[in-house]
Structure 1
Amino acid sequence: MPPPKNLRELRGLQGRLAYIRRFISNLSGRCQPFSRLMRKDVPFVWDQACQNALESIKQYLLNPPVLMAPIKGKPLILYIAALERSLGALLAQHNDDGKENALYYLSRTLVGAEQNYTPIEKVCLALVFAVQKLRHYILSHRVILISKADPLRYLMSKPVLSGRIAKWSLLLSEFEIKFVPQKAIKGQALADFLAAHPTPDNMELPADLPDEEVFTIEALTWQLYFDGAARRNGAGAGLVFITPSGGLIPYSFSLLALCSNNVAEYEALIIGLEIALEMHIDCLQAYGDSQLAVRQLNGQYAVRNATLVPFHERAKHLMSQFQDIHVSHIPRSKNDKADALANLAASLTLPSERDIQVTVGERYLLSPAIERIEEVVDSNVITSSECEEEPDDLDWRHPIIEYLLLGKLPNDSRKKAEVRRRATRFLYLNDTLYKRSFDGMLLRCLSKQDATKALRDTHADTCGAHQAGPKLSNQLKRLGYYWPTMVRDSIKFATTCKDCQLHGDFIHQPPQQLHPTTLSWPFEAWGLDVIGMIKPKSSRQHQYILAATDYFSKWAEAIPLKEVRADDVTNFIRNHIIYRYGVPSKIISDNALYFKCKSMTKLCEKYKFQHSFSASYNPSSNGQAEAFNKVLCNILKKMVSGNKRDWHERLPEALWAYRTTIRNSTGCTPYNLVFGSEAVLPLEVQLPSLRVALQLTNPDENANVRLAELEALDEKRLAAQQRLEIYQAQVAGAFNRKVKFRSFSIGDLVLTVRRPFVITRKMHGKFEPKWEGPYVITKVFSKGAYELSNSEGKCIYPCVNGKFVKKFYA
């Protein structure tokens, strides 16, 4: 096999290799040197690296592996590997003799942003890639996953799921996959797989080693909010650390030297970084409201002020000592705690080497005598304390029980006062703690585990009525139970109940404001729609009406059809719109197949106009066409009351009546806005009106009047445009008063209204759920529309209006 001499031969080689790629382990990694030659505007130079890659593939093909068919009933073994620029997977299985045989090889190159993933995210991507490609194998077998790291634990233990991670978690949830760490190389299939995916010598080992509990490293990220303040008589720095468990650690420092606000911001950050390093914090997310300092540290702005250079260098030096650190800008309104601490320190100008601690406490007005606790505090020292979250394994009942039985109190003075105050409402009887309610009833105090069971049984068990959160907490109190966070836990439990969400009431408030379509000239935009199927059919078997409405003048065209085909639509646009009124700039229609067809696309390309589609199952997106449909049907059904099968013959009369009637939105008839004068009606000929009589008696004067009307046509259209904008503003104002804003982001889990209800406005059964899902939002459109995909990443609903979507609480 000679080496390729040009790009065409290289493409041919890769095409032949792709045909047998399932038999070659890590084909993407072996072909990595070829990728450089495939790029645009790169000269074709076959170097030694390319030749070595070709020789490696040729040597591999001399001893091809034997792939076996899977054995039904036996588990599959999935090996995955992720290198710096490629992914690989091997599907294997033990045969009847206990020997491990290869079933399928997979590999691909990392492209674009995938190369910037962390090592553990690349392993997760390798698993998702393998599951998608080998779905037909994995669905019918139990799978044992073997890799250097456990991607399942990483995906399932993340506290906050991003869009990509959420999609991966949903995708893997339907398979039976068990992770088993590989402690030694056993089996020829694994040995060959590892030999094909070597770890480079210069590649830094990630923290995801086997048998190491390090996959919760992202949960150990601390947050730092910093702010600086400068005054005439002093400067201060405020810091607020937020622990991974949500605890708050505030600091406030008075700066010794007077400085500017920018210097104070830098000094606040530097002090925060030094404290973080002293606390051995490795991962830190810092937030500040100084746009200058944050963008200089991120490299977006250059440091031109000589005063800031040493502070910038010191901050960059400290940042380099963290494993993972990010500095982000936030508005001042979201940095209020650090801002308050900085202003406090700047206002309290202190002597050097003297610390003052500030107390942030609670006071109760008219508190009972039993709750008054005297504390001796030094007049020069004020202690500052922050309420920390108790560990999950600490029962909230223990301090109260110890005080009631043994008189034992915590060492902390604040907690001591809290236990004394609360203990007056509790009673310890028969090894059980009870709380006295205000009506005299004794409520049994539950631990966290018992509370979870009580919530589940009361809400959704045999006698559970799936009540809302407040009612659920009241029900638990009536049953005689209590714990401090009962109301909050009840609301959270009821909110996350999947059955309650699927059968929840429809949301009638619109999620977004009204977005009216405003145009400035006739025939600039048309709304296209089909009315039907109409029953009964006409005498000539027509059962549809294809209608088009001009958005500015409200002029309408319509034809009857026996059936709606793509050719009928394009011929209607060509003959009744373009050839009569010119080429429009935009045509709006729904998503029907006869509108989304090749002939329609060719017509748009030929005449250079835009074809927009309204959101699925949302007629208001093409409101002008729907409004005309309603008016036309009202006119027709009154005209054909005697014979309902001749509606196709009365359709031109209905159009004539519509065109010569004043529309409220413009204050004119469509005929007047198009031709500049009012149409002569048949009645005016039979019983001559004044203008008809003038036309007959004085033709010259009639011609002059006609010319004057044409001269005033532009002014009339401008007046109609102003009236139309005022009318649309009034309608939008009335609509927007009902709006309850709801918006979603990419990656959010949502439910959507089931399609039968959207189409027919009726449920197919009394016990059918009103919502379906959950789905993942994969794209956000303007004006409140979304694209929804399932767990496999397949697009289910390309464009759904936000009023049919609500958030899913997992």
Structure 2
Amino acid sequence: MPAEWELSDDLPDEDVLMVEIIPPWKMYFDGASHKEGAGAGVVFVTSKGELVINQLLGLYEVKKSELLSYHNYAKRLMGWLGDVELEHLPRRDNKQADALAKLASILSMTDKEARIPICKSWIIPPIFSDDKDDTFQEEENHVMEVFETEEEDWWQPLVDYLKYGKLPSDPRRRIDIRRRATRFIYYKGTLYRRSFEGIFLRCLSDDEKDQAMEEAHSGVCGAHQSGPMLHFRIKRMGYYWPAMVKDCIDYAKRCQACQFHANLIHQPPEPLHPTVASWHFDAWGLDVVGPMTKSSGGHLYILAATDYFSKWVEAVPLKEVKKENVVDFIRTNIIYSYGVSRNFSMYYIAANGLAEAFNKTLFSLLKKVVAKSKRDWHERIREALWACRTTVRTPTQSTPYALVYGVEAVLPLEHQIPSLRIAIQEGLTEEENARLRLEELEALDEKRLEAQQRLECYQARLSKAFNKKVRPRSFQVGDLVLAVRRPIIITHRTGNKFLSKWDGPYVAQEAYTNGAYKLVVEDDLRIGPINGKFLKRYYA
């Protein structure tokens, strides 16, 4: 049949057995474009969406006169928008238009007032009349009354069932409502839930539960309690909603006052990474003790250094802590005497435990040997150092003096009351003494290797005990965190009692593999690196 021939419904000499009637297509505006608003928002609803697309593209002709007004206005909208691309979507990908089509089947545009409950949307009447005029004509809109309804509260199906015997259409929800309704009662317009103690708890809506949590947590009688305690408090007051525990925990952890004034977190976030020194004088731990009682020489501090392998110690009194004094100590007492070390530890108590342990031992010794005036401690430091160097240390099962020089130091008591070692050495000739000394030096490396094995076993036991307390806590780049208020000395109290313990919030800019992080504030001021032990997550 030629394309230019017109189709005719007249079928002469034929018996029509069946006639398929295709429903007519319709076009609605979704409310985003009308005479008092701007923008484009035309939604086409039709049984043959491809037909509408072809008509707008000019491939098909619009034959129905009542559709010309919509067709012309759609063409005008396309002209306003500029570059427009039309594409036919199947029904499964065009759910919004399908929903509008179902709504249109219910809605009848009559003179009577229509009440349509909707959720966060708008319904407007057609902006075109039934006039057969092809030109676009503006006319006064007949606005319908629209009611906006919020999402249904959790207790509404229970109320419908207890009050009216109404159940949801979903079979699963019907069973769930019947099962849960046995513990609820509806009394004088209020829903109550019977607890296991036999107490009736009032059921709260979403708005009421927010008010209850705010008042119970930070209100007039609020105690800023933790989430579980907040849940217990609200339940004790006689209220209930399904997700009480979860909501209370989430509300409490987002409280700004609770976050900034929370206690410090003492659980380590990372497993212990012990510093393993491969050889003597390879790594030193430095620390400053003080301020102390001012000595007769005007000293207030003690600068101490401890070798991680042999536990050898060096210490000097200082009048003031300056970088020049520290540099001079490292050069004179360490480099000139024992060579250049590979690294020194920074100040961090948990990572510099060896230096902290020696500080405790040194201070304990000085307290017991100083005079009553407590001002001669700077003269007693060398005696305390000698005592530490000649004492057997638990990690190595040897004295620091023996690991450094290969032989145990001869103490004054051994000369006053000769020991077996002194008695044997007194019977040796000078040549035999020299040979014995060479043998001791030859065995020194073996003795150090044995000490290293004992040290590794000792550190493994420490790590096992430490890692039992680990509570993993890590952050990703871009996370908001709070940091312990500077200076980070958790054993000292800084500021007044009303000062917050945490600063921030900061943004984690970079994460290192050893549990340290680099932070940045809003003005791009960088802070760090800082150990993750002093950080916690911030909830906005």
- Shift in Å at residue 727 of structure 1? 1.0
- Shift in Å at residue 715 of structure 1? 0.5
Pair 662,412 (structure 1): closer, same or farther in 2 beyond 3 Å: same
Asked if the contact 1:756/1:762 (under 8 Å) is kept, the reply is no
User: Residues 503-540 of structure 1: CA distance to partner in whole angstroms, max 9, x if unpaired?
Assistant: 333322222221111122111111122222221x2222
> Greater CA radius of gyration, 1 or 2?
2
Residue 297 of structure 2 corresponds to which residue in structure 1?
540
Partner secondary structure for residue 247 of structure 2: helix
Partners of 1:428 and 1:657 in 2: CA distance? 82
Q: Does 1:646 align with 2:376?
A: yes
Residue 493 of structure 2 corresponds to which residue in structure 1?
762
Residue 559 of structure 1 corresponds to which residue in structure 2?
316
Residue 235 of structure 2 corresponds to which residue in structure 1?
477
Partners of 1:557 and 1:508 in 2: CA distance? 31
- Shift in Å at residue 766 of structure 1? 4.4
User: Residues 451-494 of structure 1: CA distance to partner in whole angstroms, max 9, x if unpaired?
Assistant: 21122112211112223323323333333322222222122212
Partner secondary structure for residue 351 of structure 2: helix
Q: Does 1:579 align with 2:310?
A: no
- Shift in Å at residue 734 of structure 1? 1.6
Residue 744 of structure 1 corresponds to which residue in structure 2?
475
- Shift in Å at residue 632 of structure 1? 1.7
Aligned partner letter, 2:331: R
- Shift in Å at residue 666 of structure 1? 0.8
Aligned partner letter, 1:467: Q
TM-score using structure 1 length: 0.46
Asked if the contact 1:785/1:799 (under 8 Å) is kept, the reply is yes
Aligned partner letter, 1:560: P
Partner secondary structure for residue 540 of structure 1: coil
Pair 804,571 (structure 1): closer, same or farther in 2 beyond 3 Å: same
Pair 475,661 (structure 1): closer, same or farther in 2 beyond 3 Å: closer
Q: Among 511, 519, 529, which residue is 1:780 paired with?
A: 511
User: Residues 159-210 of structure 1: CA distance to partner in whole angstroms, max 9, x if unpaired?
Assistant: xxxxxxxxxxxxxxxxxxxxxxxxxxxxxxxxxxxxxxxxxxxxxxxxxxx9
- Shift in Å at residue 642 of structure 1? 4.2
Residue 259 of structure 2 corresponds to which residue in structure 1?
501
Asked if the contact 1:527/1:625 (under 8 Å) is kept, the reply is yes
Aligned partner letter, 1:672: A
Aligned partner letter, 2:210: T
Aligned partner letter, 1:802: G
Residue 531 of structure 1 corresponds to which residue in structure 2?
289
Pair 661,212 (structure 1): closer, same or farther in 2 beyond 3 Å: farther
Q: Which protein has greater RCO, CA pairs closer than 8 Å, 6+ apart?
A: 2
- Shift in Å at residue 778 of structure 1? 2.1
Partner secondary structure for residue 257 of structure 2: helix
Q: Does 1:398 align with 2:156?
A: yes
Number of equivalent positions: 402
Partners of 2:198 and 2:151 in 1: CA distance? 31
Partners of 2:303 and 2:216 in 1: CA distance? 56
Partners of 1:212 and 1:566 in 2: CA distance? 70
Q: Does 1:720 align with 2:438?
A: no
Partners of 2:317 and 2:330 in 1: CA distance? 14
Aligned partner letter, 1:740: R
Aligned partner letter, 1:538: S
Consecutive unaligned residues in structure 2, runs of 5 or more: 1-37, 42-89, 96-148
Residue 352 of structure 2 corresponds to which residue in structure 1?
622
Partners of 2:402 and 2:208 in 1: CA distance? 76
Pair 735,499 (structure 1): closer, same or farther in 2 beyond 3 Å: same
Aligned partner letter, 2:332: N
Aligned partner letter, 1:668: S
- Shift in Å at residue 747 of structure 1? 1.9
Residue 520 of structure 2 corresponds to which residue in structure 1?
789
Asked if the contact 1:756/1:764 (under 8 Å) is kept, the reply is no
Partners of 2:499 and 2:326 in 1: CA distance? 38
Partners of 2:176 and 2:420 in 1: CA distance? 94
- Shift in Å at residue 724 of structure 1? 0.7
Residue 536 of structure 2 corresponds to which residue in structure 1?
806
Consecutive unaligned residues in structure 1, runs of 5 or more: 1-209, 214-275, 282-390, 591-617
Partners of 1:683 and 1:470 in 2: CA distance? 65
More off after superposition, 663-672 vs 429-438: 429-438
Residue 80 of structure 1 corresponds to which residue in structure 2?
none
Residue pairs, 1:669-708, within 5 angstroms: 669-698=399-428, 699-708=430-439
Q: Among 356, 360, 367, which residue is 1:637 paired with?
A: 367
Asked if the contact 1:665/1:727 (under 8 Å) is kept, the reply is yes
Partners of 1:455 and 1:564 in 2: CA distance? 52
Aligned partner letter, 2:509: T
Residue 209 of structure 2 corresponds to which residue in structure 1?
451
Partner secondary structure for residue 424 of structure 1: helix
Residue 246 of structure 2 corresponds to which residue in structure 1?
488
Q: Among 384, 406, 417, which residue is 2:175 paired with?
A: 417
Q: Among 185, 189, 204, which residue is 1:431 paired with?
A: 189
User: Residues 356-380 of structure 1: CA distance to partner in whole angstroms, max 9, x if unpaired?
Assistant: xxxxxxxxxxxxxxxxxxxxxxxxx
- Shift in Å at residue 773 of structure 1? 2.8
Partners of 1:767 and 1:799 in 2: CA distance? 28
Aligned partner letter, 1:800: I
Residue 549 of structure 1 corresponds to which residue in structure 2?
306
User: Residues 718-737 of structure 1: CA distance to partner in whole angstroms, max 9, x if unpaired?
Assistant: 00001111111111112122
- Shift in Å at residue 781 of structure 1? 2.9
Partners of 1:778 and 1:529 in 2: CA distance? 30
Partners of 1:430 and 1:584 in 2: CA distance? 83
Residue 71 of structure 2 corresponds to which residue in structure 1?
none
Aligned partner letter, 2:316: I
User: Residues 400-445 of structure 1: CA distance to partner in whole angstroms, max 9, x if unpaired?
Assistant: 2333333332221111222233333333333333333444443332
- Shift in Å at residue 705 of structure 1? 1.2
Partner secondary structure for residue 633 of structure 1: helix
Partners of 2:394 and 2:291 in 1: CA distance? 29
Partner secondary structure for residue 571 of structure 1: helix
Residue 74 of structure 2 corresponds to which residue in structure 1?
none
Asked if the contact 1:757/1:763 (under 8 Å) is kept, the reply is no
Partners of 2:364 and 2:91 in 1: CA distance? 76
Partners of 1:645 and 1:477 in 2: CA distance? 63
- Shift in Å at residue 655 of structure 1? 1.4
Q: Does 1:519 align with 2:277?
A: yes
Partners of 2:490 and 2:205 in 1: CA distance? 48
Q: Does 1:732 align with 2:463?
A: yes
Aligned partner letter, 1:782: T
Residue 134 of structure 2 corresponds to which residue in structure 1?
none
- Shift in Å at residue 690 of structure 1? 3.6
Aligned partner letter, 1:703: A
Partners of 2:231 and 2:295 in 1: CA distance? 62
- Shift in Å at residue 760 of structure 1? 4.7
Pair 469,715 (structure 1): closer, same or farther in 2 beyond 3 Å: same
Asked if the contact 1:751/1:805 (under 8 Å) is kept, the reply is yes
- Shift in Å at residue 687 of structure 1? 3.8
Asked if the contact 1:750/1:807 (under 8 Å) is kept, the reply is yes
Partners of 2:273 and 2:202 in 1: CA distance? 55
- Shift in Å at residue 764 of structure 1? 4.5
Residue 711 of structure 1 corresponds to which residue in structure 2?
442
Identity percentage of aligned residues? 55
Pair 714,756 (structure 1): closer, same or farther in 2 beyond 3 Å: closer
Aligned partner letter, 1:654: A
More off after superposition, 686-695 vs 702-711: 686-695
User: Residues 205-248 of structure 1: CA distance to partner in whole angstroms, max 9, x if unpaired?
Assistant: xxxxx9899xxxxxxxxxxxxxxxxxxxxxxxxxxxxxxxxxxx
Residue 327 of structure 2 corresponds to which residue in structure 1?
570
Partners of 2:247 and 2:506 in 1: CA distance? 26
Residue pairs, 1:228-247, within 5 angstroms: none
Asked if the contact 1:443/1:480 (under 8 Å) is kept, the reply is yes
